[in-house]
Amino acid sequence: MLFDAVLDAQGLLCPEPVMMLHVEMRKLKGGDVLKVLATDPSTTRDIPKFCQFLGHTLEKSEQDNDLYTYWIVKKYK
């Protein structure tokens, strides 16, 4: 899947990945896709809730061993 920016949150623990995600989403324009790389299993719960709460779209998520990858589409204002 194509993306416009990458957030590498590997090695960080809750709440850091979601805090960084919030900052990165503010930098993007509506419709842009952010690819997030994380190793904290709590992101499987936190990132979907983040998207739902703020209206962004979690387009896709994958797990490969200890690596979690998310593609998030920023909402249009």
Q: For CA atoms 40, 42, 43, 46, give the dihedral sign.
A: negative
14: annotated active-site residue: yes
| E strand or H helix that includes residue 47 | helix 43-54
* List 12, 14, 20, 37, catalytic entry: 14
Residue 37: beta bridge partners? 8, 69
Positions marked active-site: 14
